[in-house]
Amino acid sequence: MKLYIGDITKVKADVIVNAADSDFTPSGGVSHWIDKEGGKEIFKEAIKYTPGKVGVTYPTTAGSLNAKAVFHIPTVDWKKGYKITIPEIHDTVVGAMEKLREMKLKSIVFPLLGGGTLKLDSRQVVEEMSDAIIHTKEDFHELDGAICVFTKQVYEDIKDVLPTETEVIEL
């Protein structure tokens, strides 16, 4: 498994994951950077899924990003007052990996789902995500899953819970 430190929009992968809200608004965090770097067409396409269900994967074009698709995964529904929970993260990542395989794509990079705006415990989030990526890869060897954190400080906070075989790459 790989862990990138830096701007997720700079990672070369078939799929970049957006931790979205259920209305797919590009107002902050990862969604802001995807909108800024990838272009408006990404979110124009995503809006057709509104309202999105928390934990479900919604694919769109990647615009001008160095990727083939963006997978929007709502982690919060502000109107219903519901946010993704730590136990749901594992199945959410597995679902995205299955969608990757279904679309005949090979590589995917995730932000820390719920670790930013929602302030879920980053250490627990990375444990669930890395476990899901590693176990999915055991079944589907061709898939390559990675996680991206925005700052070196987040990496320092989570590094002791990363799987030992994690390759760390600074962007």
Alpha-carbon distances, residue 64 vs 55, 67, 71, 103, 151 (angstroms): 25, 8, 15, 19, 23
**pLDDT value for 27:** 82
At the topology level of CATH, where does 2-170 sit?
A: Leucine Aminopeptidase, subunit E; domain 1 (3.40.220)
In the chain, where the domains are located: 2-170
Q: pLDDT tens, position by position, for the chain (171 residues)?
A: 999 999 999 999 999 999 999 999 998 889 999 999 999 999 999 999 999 999 999 999 999 999 999 999 999 999 999 999 999 999 999 999 999 999 999 999 999 999 888 999 999 999 999 999 999 999 888 999 999 999 999 999 999 999 999 999 999
CA dihedral 14→129→53→24, nearest 10 degrees, is: -50
Structure tokens given for 92: 């959410």
Q: What pTM, to 2 d.p., does this model score?
A: 0.96
